[in-house]
Structure 1
Amino acid sequence: MVDPTPQRAWRALCSFCGAPVEFRSADSPMAVCSYCRSTLLRDGDTLRRIGQVADLFDDHSPLQLGVAGRYQGEPFMLVGRAQMAYDEGVWNEWHALFDNGRSGWLSEDNGQHVFAFEQPARSALPEHWARVAPGQAVFIDQAPWVVASVAMARVQAAEGELAFVPDFKQAHTVLELRDTQGQVLSIDDSETPPRRFVGRAVALPDLALSGLREGSSEAKVKSSGIECPNCGTPLTPRLGQSLSIACPSCKSVVDISQKDEGAGLGYYAQDNGLEPLIPMGRTGRLDAEGSGYADDWQVVGYQERCDEPESSEDEQTFWREYLLYNQQNGFAFLVDAEDGWSVVRPVTGVPSTRSATAAFKGVTYRKKYTYTAKTTYVIGEFYWKVRRDQRTLNTDYVGTGSHGTHQLNREQTGSEITWSAGRAIDAAVVMKAFGIHAAKAAAFRRDAGAGGSWSFGEQGWVWVLVVIIVVIMLARCSSDECGRVRDTYGAASLEYQQCSSRAGSSGGSWGGSGGGSWGGYSSGGSHK
């Protein structure tokens, strides 16, 4: 076990409230008083107060100050945190101090974590480096990188001991790049010359951490609570990092990113929908990494999405995504698409792409479709801001040869690109993982043919429910929602009659059979 006692420390009293403040590194220029939130600069042997920082946005992370662990065999302790804010939300940068005096940063990255260290510049940055576009390939320090995101971000809040003096008022350009070796390069212009940090993805269980936050990750909210601005129903976020939550009563999507600022909450109303096949809040034991080891994942969010065909001749598809959460492993997505189920997670690096192929971690993929995806309905909580009819540009890839169940997705939202990797899984595996009764198996199957004769019973009514779900989702994506049901089941079928009755129309053509999107490997919205 790592000894949390430092070999040496510098202690003083806060110049504002008199509380003890400790510096574990002789190189740390500032700290935040844990009692009065004063920002304190070291000035010789005294502390000088330069202001007061905002309260931290309490999030889902099991990390906290004092957590100790090992990385590449070296002991470290988390001694500080800088909480970064940009238009799409917030993320944490944890200051890790190693026993050998080295400083590192354990950063959040799309629901996962990256361990990064400052790197000296070996060459000048490309001209206009801060104005590159996501997806652009650049050479920095004689190495190839791909731009993943460009954002204006600032230090929103901080605690503990930091290795730099943050500017809490001014936003700076933060450029994030990735390479095919799984590395992440971060550059920001908060200082001159810009600082560079290089890191790799890490799994918290591999860091042998001790002193983690105990208990569930339930959000802490002010005693006044949060009310839906549309209907007044009390809202109770379960994840502190959630930036959007759907009201359980009126289904309005509420932006809670400013819930502690005293300002009115933004929202938009959406139509009521049917409950997802997997109940919200249900926990299932699932191997989300394909490693052969299962973890407990809780369903915290659900969204329905569809593609936007480029022409009326293209087939439109829809799919549903369940946002899963595990306290140490972060987030994953369970996708229910027309061709089956899959589980995907955002990845740190970028694949090597050429023409219509991509290579990632020894697997070769071929491109299937590029399409615009639109989110049409959500319930639950999300760690990004959900916007009405939120759109992303997606490209789907599928593994070749013996890796036919492997999947890869590139998703772009604004100035950020996220790659996700996953694999197809059987519906029976999903049902077993989340304790779904066998009587509902028909609703989970996606490869069953629609023809043939069958009699009503429990499975028959399940199929009717499935058709109704299909109709509702298509109604949000298409103005002629019954055409496909008619083409599949026939104009005299009960399914088509129910669809026509619900939609108040007599059907109509819904497009041909060519093209369309693969649909459903994506990782949700734009988020750090």
Structure 2
Amino acid sequence: MFKLACPSCGAEVVFRSATSAMAVCEYCRSTLLREGDAVRDAGKMAVVLEDYSPIRITTSGMYAGKAFGVVGRIQLRYEDGFWNEWYILFDDGRAGWLSDASGQYAITEDAGLADDAPSFVQTVPGGQYAWDGITYTASDLRTARCTAGEGELPFQVGPGWEARVVDYRQTVRFLTLDYSEEGKPRRYAGKAVSLGDLRCQLLREPEEILRSAGHLKGKAEALACPSCGASIEWRPAVATHLHCPACGAESDASSGTAEVMEASRREAALETTLKLGDEARIDGTVWTLIGLMKCRETGGSDEWVEYLLYSEGQGFLWLVESSAGWDKVKVLDVWPESVSASAVRHEGEAYTRMQAYGAQVVQVAGAFNWRVQVGDAVAVTDYRGGSATLSSERSPAELTWSLAQRVPASTIDGWFGRKGKLAAGAAVTALAGSGEAGADGERRQALRPLAWVFTVLILLINVPIAVFGGLYSFFLILIAVAVLWLPVYTNVLED
């Protein structure tokens, strides 16, 4: 441990690691570069955005049987959001990084230069990289800027410092190739984790967050839309990309005030079964609906609605409403393992490839923890197992896996306290513009079995008579069958 006085304000600055190259004075924000037994003031570092991560400098935990402590942080912002990289020191002197992105965590350690790595510009989501006998799949490609930092760090960074990184996954394994410096990328290897797995201590309490930021994590607040003035409910720093449900304007609220990013064309209000602000109690946990988006199959007519729910203790959860019913969807930290070109395995269960299709966002409203826009498109591949569906979603910068479990409409009713409003109809209520995916289509489809029964009865009774009655009798039978099937294909029975 190396201690000295900040040359700018005189406060004590501590270097806990012999390998740390810089530290940020917590009092005056000066960036101090270590040069032997002295430091040089390299200017001021921006204050980190209070993003309500429960982690802080001095947080401690256990990983792979070794105790560690958090000693520094850098904040990185990319086009669609931001994340934290926490610099950690182990008791045996080793160092590592704890990645913290919207409630998903991974710990990695320096594993040397990657002489065999593909170039950054040639890497795509889904691409493979083999190292140490393991084949990894590219999950995330980002070019990000350092916006702020605190504590001590192993290299010099500052506002404007650019990071180019590619994340890879293989089941629970996690690997990052860092292309930020010239030459070969540096490799960091580890695994995806949760704060529970790490047995973290000295995490920030909600009361501390309240004192330091003036907002309680996840507490609903209202902002005036900077485009039309309508009220937008949001969760400070939990979901910072907002879409006004009134005018569709897209805003960035990461600074605590909404700034217009893009004024969308005014369009018809998004009519959905569940509404922004609705609350559900799922397995004893309260979830709040903070965002929703309507999606359509690329080049097709199938539509569905995806609802984003947030819980302070559990993070994010999705509910999806489609013509097939309701699904509860969780983004996976531990990825499935590929078995063949048409099958994967997850938690001991085999899943077989069902279908592949494109999906596109056509309407969006509410708050999200990343930037979502009308027109965003992904390539989806579904795999079916015994009781659930695994889906991979691929965009130009990211590949994710999620697990969907079918939920009866009556269960959704119970979660949201709707007293049978969903179950009274069918599996799904009407989705605007979705044709027979709506309630009218479901009612008409419910008549189909009856139509078949009475068609068979008409033929059994009348065909023998028609044999002796001639062509005119057959013509009357055809008219009767057509009238019988008319309600199945039209709204003739509607008021």
The interval holding the TM-score normalised by the smaller chain is 0.7 to 0.9
Aligned to 1:37: 29
Q: Which residue of 1 aligns with 2:483?
A: none
Whole-angstrom distance in 2 between the partners of 1:126 and 1:185: 12
Mapped partners of 1:111, 1:125: distance in 2: 32
Alignment-derived partner of residue 458 in structure 2: none
Cα distance in 2, alignment partners of residues 391 and 36 from structure 1: 45
> 1 CA distance for matches of 2:50 and 2:305?
29
Q: Secondary structure at the match of 2:229?
A: coil
For residue 174 of structure 1, report the CA deviation from its aligned partner.
0.9
- What is aligned with 1:118? 110
d(CA) in 1 for partners of 2:417 and 2:64? 39
Shift in Å, 1:207: 2.5
C-alpha RMSD over aligned residues: 3.3
- Give the 3-state SS of the residue equivalent to 1:206 in structure 2: helix
Structure with larger Rg: 2
CA distance in 1, matches of 2:328, 2:258: 38
Asked if the contact 1:304/1:473 (under 8 Å) is kept, the reply is no
Count of residues in correspondence between the two structures: 442
Q: Determine if contact 1:251/1:379 at 8 Å carries over to the other structure.
A: no
Structure 2: segments with no counterpart, 5+ residues: 216-221, 446-487
Listed one character per residue, the Cα deviations across residues 151-191 of structure 1 (whole Å, up to 9, x for unaligned) are 22232211122233225424242111112x32111011223
TM-score for the superposition, normalised by structure 2: 0.79
2:13 matches 1:21: yes
Distance 2:276 2:123 in 1: 40
1:421 maps to 403
Question: In the TM superposition, what are the counterparts of 1:275-286 in structure 2 within 5 Å?
Answer: 276-286=272-282
Preserved CA contact (<8 Å) 1:242 1:256: no
2:180 aligned counterpart, secondary structure: coil
Check conservation: 1:182, 1:350, Cα contact below 8 A: no
Written as runs of structure 1 = structure 2, the 5 A alignment for 1:278-317 is 278-286=274-282, 295-309=285-299, 316-317=301-302
- Given residue 280 of structure 1, which amino acid in structure 2 is its aligned partner? L
Q: In the superposition, relative to structure 1, how do residues 272 and 76 fare at CA in structure 2: closer, same or farther (>3 Å)? A: farther
Cα distance, 1:486 vs. partner? 9.7
Distance 1:195 1:182, change over 3 A: same
The 1:297–1:55 alpha-carbon spacing in structure 2 relative to 1, beyond 3 Å, is same
Task: Tell me the CA shift for residue 417 of structure 1.
Answer: 1.1
Using the TM superposition, give the Cα deviation of residue 274 of structure 1 relative to its aligned residue in structure 2, in angstroms. 5.5
Equivalent pair of 1:366/1:398 in contact (CA under 8 Å): yes
User: 2:325 — aligned with what?
Assistant: 340
Is the contact between residue 300 and residue 380 of structure 1 (CA under 8 Å) also seen in structure 2?
yes
Structure 1 residues not aligned, in runs of 5+: 1-8, 288-293, 311-315, 448-465, 498-528
Q: Secondary structure at the match of 1:138?
A: strand
Matches within 5 A, 1:160-309: 160-166=151-157, 168-179=159-170, 181-191=171-181, 192-215=183-206, 227-233=224-230, 235=232, 237-248=234-245, 250-256=246-252, 259=255, 265-273=261-269, 276-286=272-282, 295-309=285-299
- 1:481 deviates by 9.8
Q: How does 1:462-477 map to 2 (within 5 A)?
A: 466-467=429-430, 470=431, 472-474=432-434
Deviates more, 1:432-441 or 1:300-309: 432-441
Equivalent AA in structure 1 for residue 68 of structure 2: F
Amino acid at match of 2:263: Y
Aligned mate of 2:308, from 323, 337, 346: 323
1:95-148 CA-partner distances (Å, limit 9, x unpaired): 222233222222135642112222235x62235355222212232344312122
Q: Which moved more, 1:137-146 or 1:374-383?
A: 137-146
How far apart are 1:394 and its partner, in Å?
Answer: 1.1
What is the identity percentage for the equivalent residue pairs of Structure 1 and Structure 2?
32
